[in-house]
Chain A
Amino acid sequence: MSLVSEGADFRGPMTAGPGLVEPMLAEPSLASVGDYVALMKPRVMSLVVFTALVGLAVAPGSLHPMIGFTALLCIAVGAGAAGALNMWYDADIDAIMTRTARRPVPMGRVQPGEALAFGLTLAGFAIVVLGLLVNVLAAALLAFTIFFYVVIYTIWLKRSTPQNIVIGGAAGAFPPMIGWAAATGSLSLEPVLLFMIIFFWTPPHFWALALTRTEDYARAGIPMLPVVSGDGATRRQILWHTLILVPLGIAPWALGFAGLFYGLTAAVTGAIMLALAWQVFRERRPVERASKHLFAFSILYLFLLFAVLLIERGWGGLIARLAA
């Protein structure tokens, strides 16, 4: 039994994120399957799959259920790949922040090089399989989304600008477009509208969380808006972005893409979002209840919008496709 035959290797500076640069002879891995699943950020992945499913289901035309399943599988694996690559690069700051300190790489259960190899392998498989079995446009969009999340957001923006999650939020907004592209092989205004809803939903959602964890972000040196510009500016920005988000949420009904039930849901939940954003705007530290309420409700808001769209537009379409 030798080091080479057992696959052990020297992991040098090139295989680790910024905070993990010590060259070392690796110990045989103790990483479990569960650790690799954790690398894929399953909770984020579930939201990605759900929004992609909505994009896929509301798209016009017929699609074989097996092709739809394959598309969702590839999108899920692609999202998992992006999560693993994010954890590889961010291991140094993950180790500092309370919320992320127990992730597999900072805990030492998965070596940085293993996370990098895992992420790159999954990304390659997801993109190639989506391109071969579904269509090239969807595969290209998935590749761009992974690139955007890992390179533009994680490596570049996250550590350099308080606008990190505003621009980086685009990565999380692409899945409905990928789903639509997988179903139709093209793009149109409807998936772009779904993209815009998630894009403008992301800043209020994350800034509401950041307001409650400012010290954590500051200790890790991440220039989140509350750290750089303070609470007041963040609360103003949350309100402004919510003011843009709510009309965008209603737009699918106003433009005739969705029915009355969706329009009513978007109006009522949008009003609650605005009320919560106003409370956050008015609230001052140390009280952070409004921020926590907004963060929690924003998840329900996005879920309800997409779920109602799925029921109204997609469910009937899915049944028709299955019957066809």
Chain B
Amino acid sequence: MTIGIAMNEQPKDEGVVLTEAQKRARRSRSIAIALSLAALVILFYVMTLVKGPMVLVRPL
């Protein structure tokens, strides 16, 4: 028991703790990636509508 208590009392390793500026930068990057992916999905959807059955035909 004594050993267990001693282990519990050791400070927790919190690893990398982001600063507020780093959190803000990461959030803005995440939003940009999400918007880019959404734009890519919309692009493929619209282009499939535009090309119709020809969507799989890719001439040289």
Contact partners of B28 in chain A: CB under 8 A: 32-33
Asked if A136 contacts B60 (CB within 8 A), the reply is yes
Bitwise, A124-152 to B at CB < 8 A (1) or not (0) is 01000101111111000000000000000
Quick check: which of A23-31, A155-163, A216-224, A234-242 contacts chain B, the rest being far away? Answer: A23-31
8 A Cβ contacts from A1-30 to B: 1-3, 6, 8, 28-30
Complex-state Cα separation, A36 to B26, whole angstroms: 12
Chain A interface size, as a band, is 20 to 34
B17 on the A face (CB < 8 A): yes
Contact partners of B32 in chain A: CB under 8 A: 33, 36
Contact partners of A33 in chain B: CB under 8 A: 28-29, 32
Asked if B15 contacts A133 (CB within 8 A), the reply is no
Complex-state Cα separation, A36 to B25, whole angstroms: 11
Instruction: Using known A-B contacts A1-B14, A131-B58, A135-B60, determine if residue A29 contacts B25 with beta carbons closer than 8 Å.
Output: yes
Smallest Cβ-Cβ distance to B43: which chain A residue = A70
Contact partners of A125 in chain B: CB under 8 A: 40
> What is the number of residues of chain B that contact chain A, defined by CB distance less than 8 Å?
22
Contact partners of A131 in chain B: CB under 8 A: 58
Asked if A3 contacts B58 (CB within 8 A), the reply is no
Asked if A66 contacts B50 (CB within 8 A), the reply is yes
Asked if B43 contacts A133 (CB within 8 A), the reply is yes
Contact partners of B50 in chain A: CB under 8 A: 64, 66-67
Contact partners of A31 in chain B: CB under 8 A: 25, 29
Asked if A30 contacts B16 (CB within 8 A), the reply is no
Smallest Cβ-Cβ distance to A4: which chain B residue = B15
Contact partners of A28 in chain B: CB under 8 A: 16, 18, 22, 26
A185 on the B face (CB < 8 A): yes
Contact partners of B29 in chain A: CB under 8 A: 29, 31-33, 36
Bitwise, B29-43 to A at CB < 8 A (1) or not (0) is 100100000001001
Complex-state Cα separation, A64 to B58, whole angstroms: 15
Asked if A133 contacts B47 (CB within 8 A), the reply is yes
Complex-state Cα separation, A73 to B59, whole angstroms: 19
Asked if B44 contacts A1 (CB within 8 A), the reply is no
Contact partners of A185 in chain B: CB under 8 A: 59-60
Contact partners of A67 in chain B: CB under 8 A: 47, 50-51
Q: In the complex, what's the smallest C-beta–C-beta distance from B8 to chain A, in angstroms?
A: 20
Complex-state Cα separation, A274 to B59, whole angstroms: 43
Residues of B within 8 A of A (CB): 14-18, 21-22, 25-26, 28-29, 32, 40, 43-44, 46-47, 50-51, 58-60
Residues of A within 8 A of B (CB): 1-3, 6, 8, 28-33, 36, 64, 66-67, 70, 73, 125, 129, 131-137, 185-186
Beyond A28-B26, A30-B22, 9 extra complex contacts between A and B, CB < 8 Å: A1-B16, A6-B15, A29-B29, A36-B29, A125-B40, A132-B58, A134-B58, A135-B59, A136-B59
